[in-house]
Structure 1
Amino acid sequence: MRVKILPVLFMLMITLFSYGQTHESFFRSLSVNGNTAILLEWMITDGINSSNFVSYNIYHSEDYAGPYEYIYEGTVYNNPQFLHQPPGGTSIQHYYFITTQQTAGDSITSDTLTHVRLNVSRYNSNSTARLSWNHIKDEPFLYNYQYEIHRIIEGGADETIAVTGDSEYYDLSFHNCTDKTITYYLRQTDPLSTLSALSTEDADIFRDITQPVIPNVKSVTVINNSQVKISWDSSPDTDVAEYRVYENRPPGLDWNYLFSVFGTDTTFAGTNICDGEINYAVSAMDFCGNEDPPDYQFAHRVLDLEIIEPDICDQTVFFDWSDYINMNPPLQGYNIIEVDLNTGAETLKATTTNSEFTLDESFTDGEEYCFYVEAFNSAGYSSTSCTQCITGYIPISPDTLSVTNISVVAPAVIDIEWYIDADANESTLYRLLREDISTGSQNLIREAAPSDGPELFFLDENVDTDNETYRYFSETIDTCGNLMPYFPEAKTFLLSGQSLVPGVYDLTWSEAFNSSSTLQEYIIIRTIGSDTDTVYRGSALSVTDQITDPVVAAGEAEFVALARYIDSNTGAEHLSFSNRITLTAELKMLNFPNAFTPDSDGLNDTFGPINFLNDQNVAGYKLSIYDRWGKNIYTSTSYDNRWDGTSDGSAVPAGIYVFHVVLTTPQGTEFTRRGTVALIK
């Protein structure tokens, strides 16, 4: 090797560079040979052959900008390589270019190249090696080199760990569990010349403390409400020794290690897996014991079907469940699936993106309906909840409901017998209402639940039994708040009468009715003193009762009507009482007109009792007439003597006069009456 400093030639070279000298890409490779030498290799330039070849001239500098030193002249045409031992060794930068001299014409100058210097350092910790290096040329795209990264772990073999076109690489794929020296170097291959070159070597002490990447959990599924199946993808790390399964539950949410698995799925018996929120996570542990602990952001939660609530009225089922978390790829939605526990047949009922849903479902009474919720994503992964079952039913209509009997038991008091179905749904509501027949107004009397039945007895004391009739009717509100389409009812009946002649009693009554029973007959009972007699039985609504004994006829007579029914459901007999009335002839004996005209025309010329009076019913009688100042102007002690409109023989003026009459019966009963009469002229 000849080393020359040729200042004139070098200046000529600089001049050629400055004036656009062509740089050919025939210089292709710089390979480090140990730590002291660099092997330069190039291709024979096109157009150069043994006949026109003069020499290869190599120039070197430790700075790309120069100055460059002429270090070698090669005169052997077919020997395109040179081994240089640069001062300072290979650890510092060295730059080279080559000129090819020919017998005629300009010399051909190559690109300027430098050898690849590798630097190895620790990145963040001693579990990651950072490799960085320079390219062989400042514009590497002209060469398109690829670098093979080689690694030698202390005591181990040379292995290729990666190929890259970059100038930086991070290695954390080594798995030595103790501190070891790891040596790296690069091999580059020129795709054009197929020349291969090595970089400098570098090393450091490393140990694998890198936690394996947490695997992607695909699904957490409940099986038969007793087992949990978890599936996951393999960790991308190659040194995984086992996968570890963890569980946490509220309220502490501490992660509990369950067991280790060597595959990518597991099925195990869970504890109370259908009772609220349960999270599962899977971690990977390598052979050095490195493990990334479970993290909630990677956990998957058992779908908790919190609420499954049937609405028998709307014939729907309401579902509410916990959100499924951390599905990867992301969650797309939920399926609601009905399952037949006997056959295992499943039916997709609905799909939704929400975590609650109302499902239309036509129930069959007493049939079991079972459902679970399934979360799914675009990758086909799915996770299911526990299965929950409900029993379908429909509102039970009452089998029996009736107003069994109503009866007047005292003035202003009605006794009610009400029968309800005690076996109906407990949420059924019975209501008994009363309607005033004359006005149509209705009032709620009583509410009852099935548990109050079946027979209820109570009194209605807010009634006018002497002047009004009432309709009592029952209605049923079913579980859904619907008014049932039937209304059992019963009506009271009102007894009235008059006695225009002593001993003669004209009685009438309104029609009695009970929708739950069949009317058999009316019975009229009369009581005078201590004597009680049935005076009528039949279906008519009126009767005339007559007493021939004048002494008895002059007294008071009490009457009551009974309606006799046969219950259509039980065949039992029921008696419904009307109001009670008391009749005496005095009611008519003391009946007076309200006006008279004393004008001697033969019509209403006198004032006195209208009805027939005789000695058999009158023992004493006194009629007194008063003017408007209270002066007594007329008195009569005989029912045969009637006032003719005079006082002391003189006619009194027209006007309003007050009368007062006192009548005593042979039995000693005294009756009085006061009123006014108009004297008209």
Structure 2
Amino acid sequence: MKPNYRLLVFALAMIAQVSITKAQTTSVMGRFSVQNVTGCAPFEVDITELDNFGSSTTRQYWYEDKSGVPTTDKNFTYNTPGEYYLVQLVGANVPQKEDSLKITVYDPAPPEFEIHNCAGHTIRVEITDTNYDRYRVNFTATNSEVIGPGITSSEFDFGTAGDYPITVTGLYNNAVNNCGTNTKTITTIDNIVTPILHSVEVNTESSDGSTLLTYTIGEESVYVLEVSENDIVGFYDLYEITGNRENVTGINTLGNYYCYRIRTFDACSNVYIYSNIVCSTSINVKVDNGVNLVSWKTASGIPSSYKVIRNGEVQTEINDTFASSFDDDNILCGNDYCYEIQAIFNSGSSLSIDTCVVASKTGDLPALSTPSSTIFNEGVVLNWEKPIEDIQLSQYMIQRSANGKAFSTISRTLDTTYIDNSNSPFRQTLKYRILYQDNCGNTSIPSPITAPIILQVKSVNGNAVVLEWNKYETWGNGIRTYFIERLDDSGAIMEEFSVLSGRTKEITFSTDDDQPKNLRVRAESLDQTPLISYSNIRTVVINPLVNFPNAFTPDGDGLNDDFKPIGTKVFNFKMQIFSRWGNVIFYTEDMNLGWDGRINGKNALEGTYTYRVNYEDATGRSFDKAGSIVLIRDNNN
């Protein structure tokens, strides 16, 4: 039989029409259809008209609402999410002129998801979004998986290390596939890094306090910080963390402690991986007489030991895991002490906030070491060392004793040097000692005594000078020797005289040495590098040595024939001889010209005559000498 090709073509057309009809959604009265009625903005519809009214019949459309003028356009794009009724208005003479179709437009929100890194460059994708009915996960351009909300995908192995983009698309049932997508890039890893919590440090201790955490985590895995208050159980999630440090704020650190741990997830093995636990430490410090009471609070029995840190240094380490207090009696009154407690855990440590107090303590303070003394520019210069211990000083007190009298306070200072200028010209022996007080009003035991060297001129006999001085006090190793120094007017040493023993020295100067002698004592200690102390300076002037005979015999024998003084270094010389009645009988300004025993060319009578001599030495000092002389004659003169 010959085939009926017309029937075959019709059948094929019907099949095609059925396919089209199945892909289209028809209006309520069947007059028009669109490809899809559900999708995400922007959502485009194309109308296919299905009625048989003929081409002369007008067809108009409202796409969003009927408030405006209808349009003949059969294409429209919905840009705003919402539910709409697409309404057709026909110009045919029919009882029902309007037909409609419901259009639903969704927000194309990017779907939320997390990528879980597994060992061996394997990942799983967890859908955390709930906006869509289904989600398509594209691992690569050709590998994908469709899963529901809250579901984790199957494992996908990339095989090698690298950065891979993962795209998730939101899908609605019976809707156009034009909704939101979201792409994240994951760097695959060889292994999951186990988190390590290194330290927990309290930054601020208040009802709105904070703690600083340092840790080690991997870079390409998700890590969550967990916390438990005043316990090591009952952990709850805070938030995800990255980097290597995190400041946790908004917690009550007043008397409370917080235990922390870090968690990550191996999605391929479906197990959680936890870090070690480290708990914060709170501290409290109270002041008592002579002791600072330090206490702390943390997870008792969990730390292996505690370090008590004072002023930045470890004061003591306590190995009792249940310890919670320490009494610090190694303190000085008035000093500031800042304490921290470091709790040492099996892995990691915690540090409290530093808490500072001012210590209180009563009682005698230890004595200073021996002060030193020397004389400079006619002042006694005292020096001493600060107290051996770090005492909060309020003042030093300088006390002096003169000529064995009781010590009295002459000055107060905060320096470790004092100059006493009230003793010149040094006619008495002096002794000094130093005391000090702290901020609590405690006074020290007096220091050992120091006695500066006071030089005295014992005698001057012609050109011989005898000096004496007191013993210098006190050097710990004792005195090696004394020296006498002669200084010029600038203070430079001109001569030095050793002292073999004792504390007196006789020095005989040259008769030609008419300059003033500035003399002082230098003491040296027995230390390897000798300590030095100087006395005051005494200026000694040697008077010109002028001798006056008490008689003369003007007999022409060449011996004692005239009266004149004998001496050197004499200037501006004047001499007068007086009779017994007080009359001037001889005058001369020449020291070498003496009285020959004559008055107006005639021999004077034997007897006693008086003289008066005026002269100056090389320094301009004036001298006035008066005396009597006996004139003796033999019978022939």
Q: TM-score range by the shorter chain?
A: 0.3 to 0.5
Larger Rg: 1
TM-score (norm 1): 0.35
